[in-house]
Amino acid sequence: MTDPILEVEDITLRFGGVTAISDVAFHVNPGELFSIIGPNGAGKTSIFNTISQVYRPQEGDIRWKGSSIMGARPDNVAAMGIARTFQNIELFPQMTVVDNLLTGRHVRMTQSWFDGMIWRGKAKAEEMANRRRVEDIIDFLEIQEWRKHPVALLPYGFQKRVELGRALAMEPELLLLDEPVAGMNLEETEDMARFILDIRRELGISMIMVEHDMGLVMDIADRIMVLDFGEKIAEGTPEEVQKDPKVIAAYLGSSDLHAD
C-alpha cells in the first residue's frame, strides 16, 4: 500500500480564546482528490493555512512525505511541492496572463537576480524554459486567446483559470483548491470540474479541495472530510458521507448533500 503524501495529525489551532480547529486528523494519498466541506466558519480555510504554515497549530503535527513541516516558512512549503489557489482571486490585475503565470515559476528559478538582469547564459536558458512551461499551462487550461491580455480584462471564470494556472506553474505534487468554482455559473463550473479531473488524470497531482458546491464535491471527490465548528464530524466516500446523520444535521437537511 502506498504511503500518504500528506498526514495531518490531531492539529488544534487557537486564536486567543477562540478554537478554529480542534484535534483534526486526516491524510491524503498520492493522486487522490480529497475534499473538505462544512458550513461557513467550520475551519476549512484555516486547515489550508496550517498546511501552508501561514498559521502554526498549537498542537499536533503535519507531515509531508513522512517528514514534519511544522515551523517551515510558507515559501519553503511551496518549494517542497505544495501550491494553492485562493477563495478570493489573488492575481496581479494589470499584468498579462503570461506574466501572472510566470510569477508561479519563481519557486523553481535557480539563477540570481543579477544573472537574470543581464539575461544571458544559464539565466536566459532558464527563463526560456519557464516560458515554455507557462505556454503548456495556457494550452492545458484553454486560455490561449487571453494570454497577452491584462488579467483585469478577463471574464471572472477565466480569471479563476489563471489562478489555477499560476498554482500549476509551481509544479506542485499537492494542490490546495480553495473554493475553485465560487461565483461561477453552471457552464464555468463544468469547465473547472473538467480541468480538475484532467489535473488528476493527466498530471497525477494530488488535491485537497474546499468547496460549497455539493454537486461538484459528490461527483468528483474520492474521499470527503466534514468539519463543523472546527471539529471533524465525518470522513469517507461521497456515498458514506451523504448518509451520515451528523453530516445531515450539520447541513440542516439531506437535500443539500446530494448531487443533482
Do 73 and 184 lie in one domain? The reply is yes
Domain range holding 146? 92-171
Do 187 and 235 lie in one domain? The reply is yes
On whether the CB atoms of residues 88 and 183 are closer than 8 A, the answer is no
87 belongs to a structural domain = no
Do 123 and 184 lie in one domain? The reply is no
Give first-to-last CA distance, the chain, whole Å: 34
Torsions phi, psi of 112, nearest 5?
Answer: -75, 165
Do 2 and 60 lie in one domain? The reply is yes
Domain stops at, among 148, 171, 194: 171
Beta-strand relationship, 206-210 and 33-37: parallel
CA 83, distance to chain mean position in Å, is 6
Total number of domains constituting the chain: 2
On whether the CB atoms of residues 122 and 115 are closer than 8 A, the answer is yes
Domain stops at, among 126, 150, 171: 171
Q: By C-alpha distance, which of 253, 231, 259 is closest to 38?
A: 231
Burial environment of residue 8 by CB neighbours within 10 A (0 to 12, 13 to 18, 19 or more):
buried
Do 14 and 128 lie in one domain? The reply is no
Task: Give the Cα separation of 103 and 206 in Å (integer).
Answer: 22
Per-residue pLDDT of the chain (260 residues; tens, 9 = 90+): 689 999 999 999 999 889 999 999 999 999 999 999 998 888 999 999 999 999 999 999 999 999 999 999 999 999 999 999 988 888 999 999 999 999 988 766 655 555 555 655 676 777 777 888 999 999 999 999 999 999 999 999 999 999 999 999 999 999 999 999 999 999 999 999 999 999 999 999 999 999 999 999 999 999 999 999 999 999 999 999 999 998 888 775 544 555 44
Do 163 and 176 lie in one domain? The reply is no
pTM over the 0.75 mark:
yes
